Amino acid sequence: MTDSATPSDFIAACHTVIGAAHVLTDAHDTAPYLTDWRHRYTGAACAVLKPATTDEVAQLVRIALAHRIALVPQGGNTGLAGGATPDATGRQAVLSLGRLNRVRALDIHNNTITVEAGVVLAEVQARARDADRLFPLSLAAEGSCTIGGNLATNAGGTGVLRYGNARELCLGLEVVTPQGEIWDGLRGLRKDNTGYDLRDLYIGAEGTLGIITAAVMKLHPLPAARVTALAALASPHAALDFLALAQRCAGSLLTGFELMSDFCLQLVSNHFPQLRYPFDERHAQIVLLELSDAESDEHARALFERMMETALDEGLLEDAVVAESLAQSRAFWDLREHIPLAQAEEGLNVKHDIAVPISRIGTFIDETDAAIAAAVPGARMVTFGHLGDGNLHYNVQAPDDGDAKAFLAQYQTALNRIVYESVHRHHGTISAEHGLGQLKVDEAARYKSPTELALMRAVKNALDPLGLMNPGKVLR
Ligand code: FAD
């Protein structure tokens, strides 16, 4: 803040732009914006600001700049790295983008949809479907997360194998810079080599370089049929061999390949009894596969059957079941999507959203499981994720018979070290799709080279020299 300015001057100035009704200061009103989805971080804010247009965002950013108030952008607040939660000082303001919720354009021939940052992901999917198109970004939080948050975290989800992550689905952005200027980069171009790619700089920046206010997103043809199957396997190594076979048989029709360990599905059926274990016998690993077929349901099923037969003949599979109906297919996905919810019900846990080269996943799991078992008695591994992308949610649940809080206090640091050292050894990353937020900012500094960190700092300092955009996230 400037010497003479106070948060109340700042708040009064915000009132003039968006009206008092959209400047929340009452503790009851601001509370939902101040704690993250996992209830891991709670901050304080001098206000929660709820603009409805890009121009209002730009005006608020200029006011914040004049008063030296840092802004924490927030979309659906479903992020898993504490990126959207302010610090505890009460001198930051949350900038909630939820009222920027218009679909600005749908261009069928260009296969694009232009949406504002606060449009909820499920709404983008629905609008695309209404136009006989597919918007393929899909994740369990899609009913609440927003396109702005998806882009700011470069979200992944279950369709990355075929369609790529949020970055690969984005053609253009509109951004309010830390100086309160509007950059209109809403270009729906698939080719544009005219200098530095600012779009890609803002994507994945977690709100530390500016505020995303709108985006042009790519649409794909709606598949004629989607068929889902579950396959039971003895190990992650077998799952990797099966992935290679599935890619050989199905090529780009393979749109999902999710790994779930037996314990993940045990947790799901314990906490959500309506979601039953899908096989008569237990198996060490279950893979959920999805084929998206441009021809027909019959074509996809025939392909699946050939693939499963080959895999059974080669001794890769222990069992398999192809969904007979949309409802059964939904039930398979429900199993996968309820794993994080079941983990939350089970109690405190340590999450690791890691990626290693796909070929190393089996060895990574073997080595890291063994190191954790040796160092942390009773740790229960909850391993699942997007195997086709090399991305695992390699989570650790406290023992079921002890004090989970005490367990985490004692072992969290050791667990992180074991996992991240193993990731590092396997040339992986400590954050594949959730971002760094405040959760992993120090870990990232540990594993990135001094050169990479210096380049990142140079970008941050060039774009946001006063450090008012989501400070303390991504970089310190
Ligand atoms: P928020 O949580 O509000 O914000 C996330 C970050 O983006 C913060 O740093 C925030 O400051 C910044 N931000 C938000 N909006 C803007 C904006 N307009 N401009 C600039 N910065 C902004 N993620 C995956 O990638 N894959 C998954 O499979 C997945 N599964 C999930 C399952 C569950 C049950 C939950 C709760 C979360 C899951 N997530 C997953 C994480 C989360 O949903 C994503 O990170 C999502 O993209 C966040 O969107 P949001 O709108 O909620 O963003």
Are both 184 and 265 inside the same structural domain? no
Are both 206 and 117 inside the same structural domain? yes
Are both 60 and 29 inside the same structural domain? yes
Burial 18-38 (b: 16+ CB within 10 A, else e): beeebbbbeeeebeebbebbb
Are both 244 and 270 inside the same structural domain? yes
Q: Please identify, among 280, 306, 340, the residue that sits at the C-terminal boundary of a domain.
A: 340
Q: Could you tell me if the CB of 383 is within 6 A of ligand 1? A: no
Q: Could you tell me if the CB of 199 is within 6 A of ligand 1? A: no
Are both 235 and 303 inside the same structural domain? yes
Q: Could you tell me if the CB of 145 is within 6 A of ligand 1? A: yes
Q: Please identify, among 290, 309, 340, the residue that sits at the C-terminal boundary of a domain.
A: 340
* CA of residue 11 to ligand 1 center, whole Å: 27
- For residue 385, tell me if it sits in a domain: no
Q: Is 324 exposed, middle or buried (0-12, 13-18, 19+ CB in 10 A)?
A: exposed
Residue from 145, 339, 384, 460 to probe ligand 1 pocket by mutation (most atoms less than 8 Å from CB): 145
Are both 92 and 186 inside the same structural domain? no
Task: List the CATH number of the domain containing 46.
Answer: 3.30.43.10
Q: Could you tell me if the CB of 212 is within 6 A of ligand 1? A: yes
Output the CA–CA distances (angstroms, integers) from residue 314 to 40, 133, 238, 239, 318, in the order listed: 46, 37, 11, 13, 11
- For residue 264, tell me if it sits in a domain: yes
Are both 56 and 19 inside the same structural domain? yes
Q: Could you tell me if the CB of 211 is within 6 A of ligand 1? A: yes
Q: Could you tell me if the CB of 215 is within 6 A of ligand 1? A: no
Task: List the CATH number of the domain containing 270.
Answer: 3.30.70.2190
* CA of residue 104 to ligand 1 center, whole Å: 22
Output the CA–CA distances (angstroms, integers) from residue 382 to 269, 273, 385, 392, 463, in the order listed: 14, 18, 10, 10, 40
Q: Which atom of ligand 1 is the closest one to the Cα of 78?
A: 52
Are both 159 and 208 inside the same structural domain? yes
Q: Could you tell me if the CB of 95 is within 6 A of ligand 1? A: no
Are both 92 and 108 inside the same structural domain? no
* CA of residue 2 to ligand 1 center, whole Å: 32
Are both 232 and 171 inside the same structural domain? no
- For residue 390, tell me if it sits in a domain: no
Q: What is the pLDDT of residue 5?
A: 55
The residue range of the domain holding 33 is 7-96
- For residue 465, tell me if it sits in a domain: no
Q: Could you tell me if the CB of 136 is within 6 A of ligand 1? A: no
- For residue 202, tell me if it sits in a domain: yes
Domain count, the chain: 3
Rounded distance, CA 394 to CA 368, Å? Answer: 10
Are both 60 and 83 inside the same structural domain? yes
pTM value?
0.94
Residue from 35, 40, 74 to probe ligand 1 pocket by mutation (most atoms less than 8 Å from CB): 74
- For residue 92, tell me if it sits in a domain: yes
Q: Could you tell me if the CB of 206 is within 6 A of ligand 1? A: yes
Measured torsion, CA atoms of residues 25, 32, 385, 152, in degrees rounded to the nearest 10: -20
Q: Could you tell me if the CB of 97 is within 6 A of ligand 1? A: yes
Are both 188 and 107 inside the same structural domain? yes
* Contact call for residues 69 and 46 (beta carbons, < 8 A): yes
Q: Could you tell me if the CB of 149 is within 6 A of ligand 1? A: yes
In sequence order, what DSSP letters do the residues of 106-145 get, joined into one string?
EETTTTEEEEETTSBHHHHHHHHHHTTEE---B-TTTTT-
Q: Could you tell me if the CB of 49 is within 6 A of ligand 1? A: no
- Other beta carbons less than 10 A from residue 371's beta carbon: 16
Give the helix ranges, DSSP H, for 236-360: 236-250, 262-271, 297-313, 326-337, 339-346
- For residue 349, tell me if it sits in a domain: no
Per-residue pLDDT in tens (0 to 9) along the chain, 476 residues? 444 456 899 999 999 999 999 999 999 999 999 999 989 999 999 999 999 999 999 999 999 999 999 999 999 999 999 999 999 999 999 999 999 999 999 999 999 999 999 999 999 999 999 999 999 999 989 999 999 999 999 999 989 999 999 999 999 999 999 999 999 999 999 999 999 999 999 999 999 999 999 999 999 999 999 999 999 999 999 999 999 999 999 999 999 999 999 999 999 999 999 999 999 999 999 999 999 999 999 999 999 999 999 999 999 999 999 999 999 999 999 999 999 999 989 988 999 999 999 999 999 999 999 999 999 988 999 999 999 999 999 999 999 887 888 988 999 999 999 999 999 999 999 999 999 999 999 999 999 999 999 999 999 999 999 999 999 999 99
Q: Could you tell me if the CB of 74 is within 6 A of ligand 1? A: yes
Q: What is the pLDDT of residue 400?
A: 86
- Other beta carbons less than 10 A from residue 401's beta carbon: 6
- For residue 83, tell me if it sits in a domain: yes
Tell which residue, 201, 298, 210, 293, has the closest CA to residue 254. Answer: 293
Q: Which atom of ligand 1 is the closest one to the Cα of 80?
A: 41
Task: List the CATH number of the domain containing 161.
Answer: 3.30.465.10
Q: Which atom of ligand 1 is the closest one to the Cα of 147?
A: 51
User: Which amino acid type is present at position 247?
Assistant: Q
Q: Please identify, among 47, 75, 96, the residue that sits at the C-terminal boundary of a domain.
A: 96
Rounded distance, CA 328 to CA 334, Å? Answer: 10
- Token readout for 288 is 């959920």
